[in-house]
Amino acid sequence: MRDLAAQLEARRKQGLYRARRILEGRQKPQQTVDGREVVAFCSNDYLGLAAHPKVVAAFRKAAGVYGVGAGAAHLVNGHTRAHHALEEELAAFTNRERALLFSTGYMANLGVAQALAGRGDHVLEDRLNHASLIDAGLVCGARFQRYRHATGVDLAQRLASLDATGERLVLTDGVFSMDGDLAPLPELARIAEAHGAWLMVDDAHGLGVLGATGAGSLEHFGLDARRVPILMGTLGKAFGTAGAFVAGSEALIETLIQSARTYVYTTAMPGALAEATRASLRIVQDDTKRRETLFALVKRFREGAARIGLRLMDSITPIQPILVGDSARAMALSDQLLEQGLLVPAIRPPTVPEGTARLRVTLSAAHTRGQVDRLLEALETAHEAVAPD
């Protein structure tokens, strides 16, 4: 039997131990965490919609209609008119024939891979994909490979080496959650099409943020449903609520309804939450100034970080990681910032590769310029105090 206590202690000594924090109140930049007032730079609430009055009001009103639980799976009697309307609106927003709601992004990714690939098929993934995509490829039973990060040449070579039998499914993040960089989607789409492969993009961190209308990484690159047949998006980030969806063709969505186990055998998300998401979707589409504000803050942060001499990663998105390298030093920097009332978590292996521990700064349209400047000042102080040997 494994000695769990000893393993946990080893994690502590390696600077890899994870601990939860307790948040009081709503998701917003100014928070009370573990009884302490902080400005948080770690939320994925990119547009500041998690506590938006219109979204909250929509949830409260819909809870009076639908209650607070769906009670059953979508295929039993848990599929409300609110769910159905949201699916139709998400399909229109992403310019696809249909959309299908899932309870989480993790379940959406698992469901797609399991429904479309299995024994005798092939799944190929970017090495830095989110854990949910990696797990989807592993558990579906297909033959599994990981290609070099954002490297189309490696993907093409791997596809060319496969035997002629079985389905081929290429899975990638649109925006990589720990680096903030974008997948080379036009190149991947061309390669997938040339080799008769499905291409699925998990755009959890692109939807609502990128593109002229906020429709995400595919809109940013000008890619349509023919070039990228499968799109997965989450609702708990820029949309500020919870849940996920898959969008694609009529045949794809009907196949998932019939065969995706994580859809068939799971209680539906609350109808009130679907109604709240409809409200947030309207804001995403109508309030373009939120994205303008967000990207002005990204520019301000990157320029300030460059003046300090911080090592930023190549990201145009609200995800702005500061590469540190050593896990213990990353933790020390995070602790220094917390002492100054700023919550910026250290991201360490195995979430990121060995030797690439970092501070993962995420910006929101709800942040102020003053808060960003305060973060930069604190980073300069912390960087000097915890300089490498």
**How would you class 73 by CB atoms within 10 Å of its CB: exposed for 0-12, middle for 13-18, buried for 19 or more?**
middle
pLDDT tens per residue, range 347-377: 998 889 899 999 999 999 999 999 999 999 9
pLDDT value of position 1: 84
Of the candidates 222, 227, 322, 240, which has an alpha carbon nearest to the alpha carbon of residue 58? 240
132, 177, 280, 334: the active-site residue: 177
For the CA atoms of the chain, what is the radius of gyration? 21
pLDDT value of position 383: 76
The predicted model gives 195-224 an average pLDDT of 98
78, 71 Cβ separation under 8 angstroms: yes
C-alpha span between 139 and 135 (Å, rounded) = 6
Residue 130 is labelled as binding a ligand: yes
pLDDT value of position 333: 93
Of the candidates 269, 227, 225, which has an alpha carbon nearest to the alpha carbon of residue 250? 225
pLDDT value of position 350: 87
Residue 105 is labelled as binding a ligand: yes
Residue 329 is labelled as binding a ligand: no
Residue 83 is labelled as binding a ligand: no
- Whether the predicted pLDDT of 4 surpasses 90: yes
79, 205, 220, 383: the active-site residue: 205
Give residue 385's pLDDT band: very low, low, confident or very high (50, 70, 90).
low
Largest CA distance in the chain: 62
Q: In percent, how much of the chain has pLDDT > 70? A: 99
Residue 118 is labelled as binding a ligand: no
Please name the helix (run of DSSP H) or strand (run of DSSP E) that holds residue 198, with its range, or none.
Answer: strand 198-202
pLDDT value of position 386: 65
C-alpha span between 367 and 290 (Å, rounded) = 11
Give the list of residues 6+ apart from residue 87 with CB closer than 8 angstroms, or none. Answer: 98, 99, 100, 101, 245
pLDDT value of position 238: 98
Which residues lie across from 323 on neighbouring strands? 358
- Whether the predicted pLDDT of 389 surpasses 80: no
pLDDT value of position 262: 98
pLDDT value of position 27: 93
pLDDT tens per residue, range 278-299: 999 999 999 999 999 999 999 9
Domains of the chain, each with CATH number or no CATH: 19-48+288-385 (3.90.1150.10), 53-286 (3.40.640.10)
DSSP state of 78: I
pLDDT value of position 13: 85
* Mean pLDDT of the chain, nearest integer: 95
Residue 234 is labelled as binding a ligand: yes
Reduced to 3 states, what is the DSSP secondary structure of residue 143? strand
239, 82 Cβ separation under 8 angstroms: no
Query: For this structure, is 237 an active site residue?
Result: yes
* Residue 156: both structure tokens together: 């093409």
User: pTM for this structure?
Assistant: 0.95
32, 23 Cβ separation under 8 angstroms: yes
- Whether the predicted pLDDT of 388 surpasses 60: no
Q: What angle do CA 360, 49, 238 make, to 5 degrees?
A: 50
Residue 18 is labelled as binding a ligand: yes
Residue 351 is labelled as binding a ligand: yes
Give the list of residues 6+ apart from residue 182 with CB closer than 8 angstroms, or none. Answer: 174, 175, 176, 206, 217, 220, 316, 317
The predicted model gives 128-150 an average pLDDT of 97
Task: From residue 48, give the alpha-carbon distance in Å to each of 74, 87, 148, 294, 367.
Answer: 29, 22, 34, 10, 8
pLDDT value of position 342: 96
Highest mean pLDDT among 10-14, 237-241, 325-329: 237-241
pLDDT value of position 360: 96
pLDDT tens per residue, range 30-75: 999 999 999 999 999 999 999 999 999 999 999 999 999 999 999 9
Please name the helix (run of DSSP H) or strand (run of DSSP E) that holds residue 321, with its range, or none.
Answer: strand 319-325
